[in-house]
Amino acid sequence: MIFGPPNHVNPLGKGLRAFSAVPAHEKIFKVTNAAKFLAAAGTTYSIPKLHGLPEVIVAGRANVGKSTLLNAVLGRRDLVHTSSKPGRTQSLNFYRVGPTFGPGKLVVVDAPGYGARGRPEWGEIFDYYIDHREQLRRIYILLNAKHGLNEMDRMMLESLNAKTHANAGTRFSLQAIVTKVDAIPLEDVKPTLAKIRQGIWEAAPLCLPAIVTTAAKHPYIGIDAVRKSIVEACGLQPKV
């Protein structure tokens, strides 16, 4: 038979078919579970080359939940260091995700926070990275559901929108992620998100639709959507 026996008489074939049907983001983030810390860069000179693997970075005010979100996305409890005190992450930290062998790898980068608790040298390395990183595919800007947008967030959104506009989306795109949605009362969720979305639209019209998340404890919200978005931004989604 040219096409082989039907799957119901071939358990191996069925298994293979089931595996190939696993979505790309699950293969990369869950099935392989191969997230690995690669490097930390505290200066522009120490940013690692990493052979051009596609890359995404998370940005946001100190304490917004960048590192916590990455742990949830990478499926690890404490690969990325977090803290209740703002200012925990002090360098660009690079993590590789995907199978150890073969294609399908990408890099996620955790950044120090901006704003009142940030330091000027952290801003310098972040700006340098955004302006020079060829393999950068998407910048995620994280916004705290509980605090909404402040002046620093608006300035950052405007600046990243201008950079996205300057490269006409050919180098990287920009997407918002709303964090800590579990920290606001249920009845406030809808109006709070509407206000945040309006603020994002006013400051950064090129920003892709916000993904809403909870990442500190189960039940997580939005983590699968973030994984899908990263895989799509890195061009690792299979063609349909």
Ligand X SMILES: Nc1nc2c(ncn2[C@@H]2O[C@H](COP(=O)(O)OP(=O)(O)OP(=O)(O)O)[C@@H](O)[C@H]2O)c(=O)[nH]1
Residues with Cβ within 8 Å of 147's Cβ and at least 6 positions away in sequence, in order, are: 61
When binding is defined by CB under 5 A, the residue of 89, 93, 179, 214 that contacts Mg ion is: 89
Stretch that binds Mg ion, among 46-54, 85-93, 200-208, 213-221 (CB under 5 A): 85-93
Closest-approach residue to ligand X (CB): 113
Between 140 and 172, CB nearer to ligand X: 140
Is residue 67 a contact residue for Mg ion (CB under 5 A)? yes
Between 63 and 173, CB nearer to Mg ion: 63
Is residue 91 a contact residue for Mg ion (CB under 5 A)? no
Place of tokens 């690669």: 38
Separation of alpha carbons 1 and 163, rounded Å: 57
Which among ligand X, Mg ion, none contacts residue 173 (Cβ within 5 to 8 A by kind)?
none
Which among Mg ion, ligand X, none contacts residue 32 (Cβ within 5 to 8 A by kind)?
none
Between 112 and 199, CB nearer to ligand X: 112
- What is the closest distance, in whole angstroms, from the C-beta atom of residue 27 to Mg ion in the complex? 27
φ, ψ at 36 (rounded to 5°): -145, 135
Which among ligand X, Mg ion, none contacts residue 183 (Cβ within 5 to 8 A by kind)?
ligand X
Stretch that binds Mg ion, among 66-74, 188-196, 216-224, 227-235 (CB under 5 A): 66-74
Is residue 161 a contact residue for Mg ion (CB under 5 A)? no
- What is the closest distance, in whole angstroms, from the C-beta atom of residue 91 to Mg ion in the complex? 10
Between 166 and 183, CB nearer to ligand X: 183
Three-state secondary structure readout of the chain: CCCCCCHHHCHHHHHHHHHHCCCHHHHHHHHCCCCEEEEEECCHHHCCCHHHCCEEEEEEECCCCHHHHHHHHHCCCCCCCCCCCCCCCCCEEEEEECCCCCCCCEEEEECCCECCCCCHHHHHHHHHHHHHCCCEEEEEEEEECCCCCCHHHHHHHHHHHHHHHHCCCCCCEEEEEEECHHHCCHHHHHHHHHHHHHHHHHHCCCCEEEEECECCCCCCECHHHHHHHHHHHCCCCCCC
- What is the closest distance, in whole angstroms, from the C-beta atom of residue 70 to ligand X in the complex? 8
Separation of alpha carbons 57 and 108, rounded Å: 6
8 A C-beta contact, residue 4 and residue 217: no
Instruction: Give the footprint of ligand X on this chain (CB under 6 A).
Output: 60, 62-68, 82-84, 86-89, 112-113, 179-180, 182-183, 214-216
- What is the closest distance, in whole angstroms, from the C-beta atom of residue 69 to ligand X in the complex? 6
Which among ligand X, Mg ion, none contacts residue 115 (Cβ within 5 to 8 A by kind)?
none
Contacting residues toward Mg ion, per CB under 5 A:
66-67, 88-89
